[in-house]
Amino acid sequence: MTQFASNYPDQYRTLLDKEVWEYIERCDRFYPPDTATRPISEQRKIYTNLCREFFAGYPDTVDVEDQVIEQNGLDVSCRFYTNPESRQSPDAKTENTTLVYMHGGGFVVGDLDSHDDICAQLCKLTGLRVVSGDYRLSPEHRHPAALLDTIAVIEWVIGQYEGPVVLCGDSAGANLVCTAAHQLRHVHDNIIGQVLIYPGLGGDIEQGSYQRHAAAPCLTLEDVVFFTGVRLTDEMLAEYQKSPTLKDKTLAPLHDDDFTRLPPTVAFGAECDPLCDDAFHYCDAVTAAGGKAQYIHEPGLVHGYLRARHSVQAATESFNCIVNSILMLVSNEWHDLNES
């Protein structure tokens, strides 16, 4: 345990181990806890520096290419990751499957570079083609801009490759791919699964993990409220300020009244994260409607732990489980990942 831990509520001294505290301390050097209160331009510079600090490089076998795709009247910048090794010895179940990835960042920060190494590693370990989309950010582009960009990327991939698609995203990106899955379930049957990594899906901020971990390291309830509000139109923001729980299903998938016909879902929740319960409740809703969903609870981890996958054993194990969940969805061999 480091002295640094005294900066946070006492409960985290026992919930988080030494490796996680070292990761948090490293994050806070580049991304101070008050970052969400600073001007947007400064937030983006801070986040860019954080991402550079944790950039892990590319696996040797991954090729990368940038392209602007045109779909639904929109131009969206994308980054394409392919693995020549998997093309040389293709698996019939993976050779034409695409993983569409949308990055996190509170709808305010992040781009193709922020999650570049994560996408490259997913490409290497799954053997899938990975397409990362660079959606428009708030507050310059408010809802539904980011969602429309996400849908455009997914539909372009479906039209271009005509093969199965797995959706994946972390945090805000998980919200976007999940909402897109709801929007597209009656239109396309190519979407064979979704993997949601510490997603924010519009849960009740006055209950559960939102209150238990309101002052958590790496993401606080105050941060959640800011990042939620910043993407709203003026009319939506006025309503949100009256009642800080979103009920628009295009912003908050948990408030959809129909959870049927959704793709098989795996959702990961970090124990020490205000958003943790959203992943659990979403999986519960999907299974209650007759669908397939698994919630993976990650004890002793915090929001944003993907960046800790090379330094924190628990994060490494979770990342491996994320890879296994993608491969499970591709193979259509559903099994309990908690027992893997």
Tens of pLDDT, residue by residue over 122-160, are 999 999 999 999 999 999 999 999 999 999 999 999 999
Query: According to the model, what pLDDT value does residue 95 have?
Result: 73
Residue 302 in any domain: the answer is: yes
Band (pLDDT 50/70/90 cuts) for residue 88 is very low
Residue 259 has pLDDT above 60, yes or no: yes
What are the Cα distances from residue 93, in Å, to 86, 194, 222, 322, 326?
11, 17, 43, 18, 12
Residue 38 in any domain: the answer is: no
Residue 62 in any domain: the answer is: yes
160-182 residue pLDDT tens: 998 999 999 999 999 999 999 99
Query: According to the model, what pLDDT value does residue 246 have?
Result: 84
Band (pLDDT 50/70/90 cuts) for residue 90 is low
Helical (H) or strand (E) element with 166: strand 165-170
Q: Cα–Cα distance between 106 and 121 in angstroms, integer?
A: 22
Residue 175 in any domain: the answer is: yes
Residue 50 in any domain: the answer is: no
9-63 residue pLDDT tens: 999 999 999 999 999 999 999 988 889 889 999 999 999 999 999 999 999 899 9
Q: Classify 240 as helix, strand or coil.
A: helix
Query: According to the model, what pLDDT value does residue 339 have?
Result: 82
Q: How many domains does the chain have?
A: 1
Residue 310 has pLDDT above 90, yes or no: yes
Residue 3 in any domain: the answer is: no
Query: According to the model, what pLDDT value does residue 155 have?
Result: 98
Q: Cα–Cα distance between 323 and 6 in angstroms, integer?
A: 34
266: CATH: 3.40.50.1820
Query: According to the model, what pLDDT value does residue 162 have?
Result: 85
State the residue range of the domain holding 81: 56-339
Query: According to the model, what pLDDT value does residue 93 have?
Result: 64
Residue 176 in any domain: the answer is: yes
Residue 89 has pLDDT above 90, yes or no: no
Asked if omega into 139 is within 30° of 0 (cis), the reply is yes
More confident call, 223 vs 86: 223
Q: CB under 8 Å to 261, separation ≥6 — which residues? A: 185, 186, 291
Query: According to the model, what pLDDT value does residue 1 have?
Result: 53
What average pLDDT does this structure show over 95-110?
96
Query: According to the model, what pLDDT value does residue 34 have?
Result: 87
Query: According to the model, what pLDDT value does residue 85 have?
Result: 78
Residue 27 in any domain: the answer is: no
- The string of DSSP letters for 105-144 reads STTTS--TTTTHHHHHHHHHHH--EEEEEEPPPTTTS-TT
